[in-house]
């Protein structure tokens, strides 16, 4: 599965058409202009992948802006998943785009399950009032009590595993970004863990490999993912533009 992910990730970053600048592969990719979960635009992704420094960015960036950002990026710290002075770095980048409503810098982890064939035994929470409903149109499991929504787990976006995988490992397969939310009053009751398990099982049926994309500082979400067998496969520094367009 690691090979399948690497093929997907190369295509996702746009590495095939990248150009080398001062030891950094600059990849202008249309993927950076596609919204995730309908509102998040990952305008720039910086990563160390296969021992190469990569910057995948939107065509909205000028060459001068890209050069300035590259000079700011702490690639060694990005590799470790813990860039220092994040707020200061984010402010410097924000100052470059005063016309943009909101830009959020963050260090992120991409996580995959270690063993895709493992059958996990997840105990259903002792919450008799809760019903679990799958909404296939939205690829979403919801937990509800009457008319009250208590939580959900969904696949927000789906990407082909890679154009070069036809007939081989990963053929006809997709990667999907997991999104989980649970009402505060129902947290620490096993609800998120159970919803995640239900969604993972559904993903297997639909040949979707779930990806967990989480901020490095979000310890609770990381622990939940690890409990479900996920491990970190890639760290990134991401500049996200949040809009309602």
Q: Count other Cβ atoms within 10 Å, centred on residue 40.
A: 19
Please provide the average confidence, as pLDDT, over all residues in the chain.
Answer: 88
pLDDT at 53 over 70: yes
pLDDT at 211 over 50: yes
Res 94: pLDDT: 76
Is 50 found in the same domain as 142? no
Is 85 found in the same domain as 180? no
Is 102 found in the same domain as 14? yes
Is 200 found in the same domain as 162? yes
Average pLDDT estimate for 56-73: 92
Number of domains in the chain: 2
Per-residue model confidence as pLDDT tens digits over 189-203 = 999 999 999 999 999
Res 150: pLDDT: 97
Res 96: pLDDT: 78
| Percent of the chain scoring above 70 in pLDDT | 89
Identify the band that residue 171 occupies on the pLDDT scale cut at 50, 70 and 90. Answer: low
Residue with tokens 């939940």: 224
What region does 38 belong to: left with phi over 0, alpha with psi -120 to 50, or beta? Answer: left
Instruction: Evaluate whether residue 125 is within a structural domain.
Output: no
C-alpha to C-alpha distance for 94 and 98, rounded to whole angstroms: 7
Is 135 found in the same domain as 220? yes
Instruction: Evaluate whether residue 120 is within a structural domain.
Output: no
Q: In which domain, by residue range, is 144 found?
A: 131-233
Q: Count other Cβ atoms within 10 Å, centred on residue 72.
A: 13
C-alpha to C-alpha distance for 182 and 220, rounded to whole angstroms: 12
Is 14 found in the same domain as 95? yes
Identify the band that residue 164 occupies on the pLDDT scale cut at 50, 70 and 90. Answer: very low
Res 167: pLDDT: 41
Is 154 found in the same domain as 63? no
Is 202 found in the same domain as 155? yes
Average pLDDT estimate for 81-99: 74
SS3 175: strand
Bigger pLDDT: 164 or 95? 95
Instruction: Evaluate whether residue 225 is within a structural domain.
Output: yes
Average pLDDT estimate for 128-157: 96
Instruction: Evaluate whether residue 115 is within a structural domain.
Output: no
Is 69 found in the same domain as 15? yes
Res 176: pLDDT: 93
Is 148 found in the same domain as 67? no
Instruction: Evaluate whether residue 212 is within a structural domain.
Output: yes
Is 102 found in the same domain as 6? yes
CATH code (residue 188)? 3.40.630.30
Q: Is 162 exposed, middle or buried (0-12, 13-18, 19+ CB in 10 A)?
A: buried
Per-residue model confidence as pLDDT tens digits over 105-129 = 888 999 999 876 666 778 899 999 9
Instruction: Evaluate whether residue 78 is within a structural domain.
Output: yes
Res 162: pLDDT: 63
Res 241: pLDDT: 87
> CB of 8 within 8 A of CB of 33?
no
Is 94 found in the same domain as 182? no
State the Rg of the chain over Cα: 19
Instruction: Evaluate whether residue 124 is within a structural domain.
Output: no
Bridge partners (DSSP) of residue 95 are none
C-alpha to C-alpha distance for 66 and 99, rounded to whole angstroms: 17
Instruction: Evaluate whether residue 95 is within a structural domain.
Output: yes
The CA angle 214-218-220, to the nearest 5 degrees, is 110
Average pLDDT estimate for 140-148: 96
pTM of the predicted structure, to 2 decimals: 0.87
């Amino acid at each position: 599965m690691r090979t399948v992910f690497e093929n997907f990730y190369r295509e996702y970053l746009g590495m095939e058409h990248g150009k080398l600048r001062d030891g950094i592969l600059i990849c202008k990719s249309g993927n950076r202009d596609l919204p995730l979960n309908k509102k998040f635009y990952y305008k720039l992704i910086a990563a160390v992948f296969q021992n190469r420094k990569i910057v995948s960015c939107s065509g909205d960036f000028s060459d001068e802006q890209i050069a300035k950002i590259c000079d700011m990026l702490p690639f060694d710290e990005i590799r470790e998943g813990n860039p220092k002075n994040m707020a200061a770095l984010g402010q410097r980048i924000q100052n470059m785009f005063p016309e943009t409503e909101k830009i959020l810098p963050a260090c992120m982890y991409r996580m995959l399950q270690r063993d895709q064939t493992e059958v996990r035994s997840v105990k259903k929470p002792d919450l008799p009032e809760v019903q679990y409903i799958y909404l296939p149109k939205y690829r979403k499991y919801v937990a509800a009590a009457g008319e009250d929504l208590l939580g959900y787990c969904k696949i927000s976006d789906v990407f082909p595993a890679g154009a070069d995988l036809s007939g081989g490992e990963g053929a006809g397969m997709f990667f999907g970004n997991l999104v989980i939310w649970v009402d505060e009053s129902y947290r620490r009751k096993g609800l998120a863990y159970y919803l995640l398990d239900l969604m993972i099982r559904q993903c297997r049926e639909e040949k979707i490999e779930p990806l967990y994309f989480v901020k490095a500082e979000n310890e609770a979400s990381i622990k939940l993912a690890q409990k479900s067998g996920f491990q970190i496969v890639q760290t990134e520094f991401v500049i996200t533009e949040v809009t309602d367009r």
